[in-house]
Amino acid sequence: MKIAFLTDPLSHFKTYKDSTYAMMVEADKRGYAIYAFGPDDMALESGKVIANISRITLTGDSQNWFRLAEPESLPLSAFDAVLQRKDPPFDMEYIYATYLLELAEQQGARVFNKPAAIRNHNEKLSIAQFSQFTAPTLVTRDEQRIRVFHKEHQDIILKPLDGMGGTGIFRIREDGMNLGSVIETLTVNGSRTIMVQRYIPEIVHGDKRILLIGGKVVPFALARIPQNGEVRGNLAAGGLGVAQELSARDLEIAQTLAPELYQRGLLLVGLDVIGANLTEVNVTSPTCFQEITQQKGFNVAGMFIDALETAIAA
């Protein structure tokens, strides 16, 4: 089997924690040929979606971990699977890439997650489709609505709809200090829509990442626990990752969403859950494979490649 990874530059990978790297290692162990390319390598030429794609050889060295063959200009349909693993920002270039990938699908490529499904599931807004699992939430660019929401709930979180890694998240407490400034900053003076949620105190116990693979639930979550007075548990913001078994509520949320999201073309999903509340549905490049595997011995990458094999055979 030939697997092509659409990803960020390989030289940027932190191999000790990168989930895409874990996928590559597992695929390589099974004897599959692995390749890599970036969004800037793609083109639509003479009606075909092609890319400059390089085969990867894994070295086993944690520093100089790969060797790249000379790139070849190949149609994406030449591969058994194309894995979309490009990190946000989810900007217009990201969207253009999904359009090209969708065209490639029409030409025979098998792309995971499906590009239309990625495009249709904003990682913040998608929780509104499962409101039975969410804390009180407001999506708006209107300052007055935000102020009314704050008056009702007193302690709130404000965040952009296109952020990642905890960037741009603010907490405003009962006194409302700096609320106006935060609203102006995040909405760019009323020109950008944001999300506002009631603060969930259980964040002190961690922002749990729950992985859904092939419509099934990984049995462990990674609780990302805020450190040093932070309100954000994201690993990128300095959170401490602690793998743990799923609670009954975690399972309820995950088992409800897993088959539905898989049917929509999402092979891999990362749910974010704080306390009893679903806060995000991550579909672009969900992570935390290695942390769960290292702490609990559960081969997340193995489960993923199993699911990929099943999807390809279907």
Question: Amino acid identity of 241?
Answer: G
**Close Cβ partners of 4 (under 8 Å, ≥ 6 residues apart):** 34, 35, 36, 37, 51, 53, 76, 79, 81, 82, 83
Dihedral of the alpha carbons of 208, 214, 219, 224, in degrees to the nearest 10: -20
Question: Amino acid identity of 81?
Answer: A
Query: Catalytic positions, please?
Result: 124, 159, 209, 224, 232, 272, 280, 282
Question: Between the CA of residue 115 and those of 257, 284, 296, what are the distances in Å?
Answer: 19, 9, 32
Phi-psi region of 186 (alpha: psi -120 to 50; beta: other; left: phi over 0): alpha
**Sign (positive/negative) of CA torsion 10, 113, 89, 221?**
negative
**Sign (positive/negative) of CA torsion 302, 236, 86, 285?**
positive
Q: Tell me the sheet residues that pair with 208.
A: 223, 273
Closest by CA position to 18, among listed 27, 8, 28: 8
Question: Amino acid identity of 295?
Answer: Q
Residues across the chain: 314
